[in-house]
A = this chain, B = another copy of it.
C-alpha cells in the first residue's frame, strides 16, 4: 500500500521502518525535516507537509505527542484532512484524549475520510523490533482492511472496538495500570526503607513474585533513583493520567487510584520533576515519608 507517516520521533521511526520492511511504500513527514530524512535511506519518500504525505495514501499514520500536535498536522492549513482521499484512512497511533478522537472521527467523516485509532504499547526498542502491541478500533471493515499494517508494526493486534475513541480509552487505561505500579513501588519502598530494609532486596522479591518486565525495569529504576535521562517524561505521564481520568468521567466511572496518581504527579511537578522519568513519582512518597526532603 501507499502509506503516509507523520511524526518521526523514536516511536514513529521504528514503526515506519517496519512498514517499509513489510513491503509498503512510505511517504514520511516530520516538522524537523532531518528526522524524516533518516527514513529516506530505508526507501521512504520525504514530504514537505502532512498534506503531501497524505495525498496519494490509502492510509496515513500519525504518531505525535498530544492532541494539539495531532490537531495541527490533521486539520491545519497543510493538514492531512485537506488532501486525504475519500475512503482513505487516518490511523491515529498517538496517545490522545477520547474527546479529541471523537472530534476527529466526526471531522474526517464529514470529508468521507475514515479514522481508525490504533494506539500502541511498547517503548522505542519494541517499535524498532516489531514487538509492539497494537490496539486498533474503528469501523470494522476499515480495521480489517488495515490489519496487515498493524501486524507489520507489532507482535500482536487486538481489535478493541468499533469506534476509534474506544482504543484511546484502552490505551489510557493501560498507561494508568503501569502508573499504578510505579506508585505502589513508591509507597512500598518508603515503608521498606524506613523499616531499615534494603529496598533492592525487596525489589528482587517483587521481580520474582510478579515475573514481569514492567516490575523488573521500573522497580529497578526506582530503587536506583535513576530518573534521568527520562525514558518517558513525567509531564507526559501526567497528561496521560489526566486523560484517563477524563475518559473515566465521560464514562461516569470514578478512578480513585488515578486520583492519587494525579495528585502525586502534580506534587512532583511542583517540586521540579517534570522532565524526570515518570517513575520519579516515587520521590513524592519518599518525601512524604520524610526521606530526602531536600531532593527532587
Binding site for B on A (CB under 8 A): 98, 121, 133, 135, 137, 156, 158-161, 163, 165-166, 169-170, 173-174, 176-178, 180-181, 183-185, 187-188, 190-192, 194-198, 201-202, 204-206, 208-215, 242, 244-245, 247-260, 262-264, 266-267, 269-272, 284-285, 287-290, 293-294
A251 to B269, CA, bound (A): 10
Contact of A253 among B191, B212, B248 (CB under 8 A): B191
Contact of A187 among B213, B215, B256 (CB under 8 A): B256
Report chain B residues within 8 Å CB of A211.
211-214
The A interface, classified by DSSP as helix, strand, loop or mixed, is helix
- As for how many copies of this chain the complex holds, the number is 4
> Least Cβ distance of A161 to chain B in Å?
5
Known A191-B173, A195-B247, A206-B177; contact A254-B271, beta-carbon cutoff 8 A: no
Report chain B residues within 8 Å CB of A253.
187, 190-191, 194, 266, 270, 285, 288-289
11 A-B pairs whose Cβ atoms sit less than 8 Å apart in the complex: A160-B198, A160-B201, A173-B192, A177-B184, A180-B181, A187-B257, A210-B210, A210-B212, A210-B214, A254-B288, A256-B260
Q: Are B259 and A263 in contact (CB under 8 A)?
A: yes
> Least Cβ distance of A173 to chain B in Å?
4
Contact of A266 among B135, B166, B252, B257 (CB under 8 A): B252
Q: Are B208 and A254 in contact (CB under 8 A)?
A: no
